[in-house]
Structure 1
Amino acid sequence: MRILHTSDWHIGRSFHGHATLDALRGVLAALTAQVREHEVDVVIVAGDVFDSATPSAECYTLLTDALAGLSDAGAHLVVTSGNHDSAARLGFQAELLRAGIHVVTRPEQVGTPISIDDEHGSVHFYGIPYLEPAIVRRLWPEVTSQQKALGQAMSLIRADLAERGGRSVAIAHCFVAGVEPTPHLEREIRQGSLDLVPLAVLDGPDYVALGHIHGRQRLSDRVRYAGAPLHYSFGEADKPRGSWLVELDGEGYASAQWLDLPVPRRLTTLRAPLDELLTDERFGEFADAWVCAQYTDATPQLDTMRRLQARFPHCATVIHTPEGVPAHDGRTYAGRVREARSEVELFDAFLTHVRAGEGATDAEIGVIRELIGEHVLAEASA
């Protein structure tokens, strides 16, 4: 059996204020083509189908089109809810979907598999929706953490599998210990807190398809994250987009192959003084990329976004990351004001405070003195 493991579609998420629906539609069309090309039997979507608990009508349309296209390509689908999804909204139409599309959103469904046959018999797919401890406690009173929630779910799965027998796949949306640490993990993750799930909790099935992390990761041959199909932050720019093509033979897990998905628009972070970003030829190749511009001038510059977008139309964010800033002398702004002996020194104290330690230049002091002189003359004539 060939299984395509994907996750974290986040339908409806914006990228620095820019809509991503059209880009995601194109990527999911490419994924559908891969399903046909590789004769995939089952497509898994491991949570965070939507980005919001209240998706727009356009988001539902995209999901409907994507599921129908994957089904038309010959695959069964098993979809679970993630922490971004409203389980009720994602699951309310589950019974109305065409045959072969299965949506698991309720904790009561845990432990009851979706069984799909191949030439070797049945493969049992155990979907685990995102299990918020405060919500599932009504069903499992002892659950106080993600670890306990996943532990309870996997206990039910192992108990059912012990009676049922055969090959199995579990699908979960959680943060599992052993994930490569990066500063750009999915925004809800709180590493080191109750959300951490030990890898051993997932023992049992032949393969565990995980969602929640936006970059692909292999925790073991049989436990993997597929990541998101689009880049949703500049911190993910170096992570490939795609899915795992997993093959089960008659004995269980046989292999996993990574299938790349197209990147509609590449992402890059450019770092240099503002004038270099605006004029240096070495940045010309990024005119069509999503750009995070980090300008390193010692002081903030004016109208940076408009100026940068004239060269990089898809500049999405501008960050001031000064280099060569004078060392802080330990004085506070209030202290500088108290020490000022003239109006010129008051201006200089203010500029030093707002410009990361760089006070007024000689030219600026001249302008300040001229303005102060005009002010004094105006008061004297009043």
Structure 2
Amino acid sequence: MRLLHTSDWHVGRSLHGTDLLAEQEAVLSGLADVVRAERVDVVLVAGDVYDRAVPSADATGVLDRVLSRLRAAGATVVLTPGNHDSARRLGFASGLLAVSGVHVRASTPALDEPVLLVDEHGEVAVYGLPFLEPEVARHQLGVDVGRSHQAVLSAAMERVRSDLYFRPGARSVVLAHAFVGGGEPSDSERDIAVGGVDLVGPSVFDGVDYVALGHLHRPQTLTPRLRYSGSPMAYSFGEAGQQKSVWLVDLDAGGLADVRAVGLPVPRELSVLTGELGELLADPSYTAVEDHFVSGRLTDGVRPADPMRRLQARFPHCVHLEWAGTGSVTDGLSYTDRMRGRSDLEVAGEFVRHVRGVGASPSEQELLGRALTVLDRDEAAR
């Protein structure tokens, strides 16, 4: 049996306010081509199907079309909710969907009830573990365990192994959405918990043939049978240049036989450009990235006027901008501390310097003084 391990689709996510639905649909629909070309039997989606608990109507439309294309390509689909999803919403009509070959495993009490698939070697039991919020999951599982992901996932896996005990000869696959020790995070994941209680030891998943992990957006291998597929697209400029991929997982009569990566297309690349505004607008070496999503990091000594509009004239998909010029550096004090004891005119002048990188000119100081005088007079007249 051949499985395609994916995760962290985040349908509906934006990039600095820019809608990504068209790019997401292009990449995710392309998975149907992989299913056909590689003769994939099962597509696994290990959590964070949507980017938010209440997805938009457009996001649900994208997911509907993508799942339909995967089914038309011949693959069974098994998916689980992650920490971005609402398990109850994602699990709506799961019974009806299962009839069509799309299995949504969103119920914590039923996590030890596998999707049973059959090939020439016998049964394959696929267990979908929804994201387990410790305080909620320990009550749903009916166990008195600690308030950590390690504790509730350990309890969940005990139930999985107990079910497997009564399925001699069955090969096993687990989908889980967690931060497993040894994984390398990116800067686009939302923290599962605070302070490290989210970390889970790899040994929690002992006893199964393959573990399809979700949550970390970088594809990586913790052990041959324990892997993250990563997100199908880059969702932050910190991921610029990452090769996104999915795992093709082969099971034979003895269990895990082979795993290999399949690279995914990039509908629009991400680039971070650093330099003075004039350089970025004129340098011909940037011609190749004019159609990329661009983050501009300006090093001008003085904050330029209207920099985003000017950058977008050359880079229409520039979605992020920061000023890193020398004038943007402060002495480490808060703005309140730096303004304490100063006159209104001094505060206004300092604001000009803070925003623009250079202080107000004498003529500008005069205009500020006149404006403040008028304000004071109006205030006194009230």
TM over 0.5: yes
TM (normalized to structure 2)?
0.88
- Distance change in 2, residues 1:128/1:346 (3 Å): closer
Q: Equivalent residue for 1:200?
A: 203
1:291 aligns to 2:294 (yes or no): yes
Bigger shift: residues 43-52 or 188-197 = 188-197
Q: Equivalent residue for 2:46?
A: 46
Aligned partner letter, 1:298: G
Bigger shift: residues 192-201 or 35-44 = 192-201
- State the shift of 1:99 in Å: 3.5
| Contact 2:328–2:354 under 8 Å retained in 1 | no
Q: Equivalent residue for 1:219?
A: 222
Structure 2 CA distance for aligned equivalents of residues 147 and 325 of structure 1: 43
- Distance change in 2, residues 1:285/1:124 (3 Å): same
What are the equivalent positions in structure 2 for 1:106-185 lying under 5 Å apart? 106-139=107-140, 140-143=142-145, 144-165=147-168, 166-182=170-186, 184-185=187-188
Structure 2 CA distance for aligned equivalents of residues 252 and 55 of structure 1: 37
- State the shift of 1:325 in Å: 6.7
Aligned partner letter, 1:187: R
Q: Equivalent residue for 2:62?
A: 62
What stretches of structure 2 of length at least 5 have no aligned partner?
Answer: 375-382
Structure 2 CA distance for aligned equivalents of residues 207 and 331 of structure 1: 51
What are the equivalent positions in structure 2 for 1:275-314 lying under 5 Å apart? 275-314=278-317
| Contact 1:52–1:85 under 8 Å retained in 2 | yes
Structure 2 CA distance for aligned equivalents of residues 21 and 372 of structure 1: 47
Bigger shift: residues 62-71 or 322-331 = 322-331
Instruction: Figure out how many residues of one structure are paired with residues of the other and give that number.
Output: 370
| Contact 2:143–2:155 under 8 Å retained in 1 | no
- State the shift of 1:218 in Å: 0.9
Aligned partner letter, 1:320: W
Q: Equivalent residue for 2:265?
A: 262
- 1:81-127 Cα shifts (integer Å, max 9, x gaps): 11111111111111112332211001111112111111111111111
- Distance change in 2, residues 1:141/1:330 (3 Å): closer
Secondary structure of the 2:100 match is: coil
- Distance change in 2, residues 1:372/1:174 (3 Å): closer
TM (normalized to structure 1)?
0.88
- 1:168-220 Cα shifts (integer Å, max 9, x gaps): 111001111111255x1512244742111111111111100011111211111
Aligned partner letter, 1:130: F
Structure 2 CA distance for aligned equivalents of residues 164 and 173 of structure 1: 24
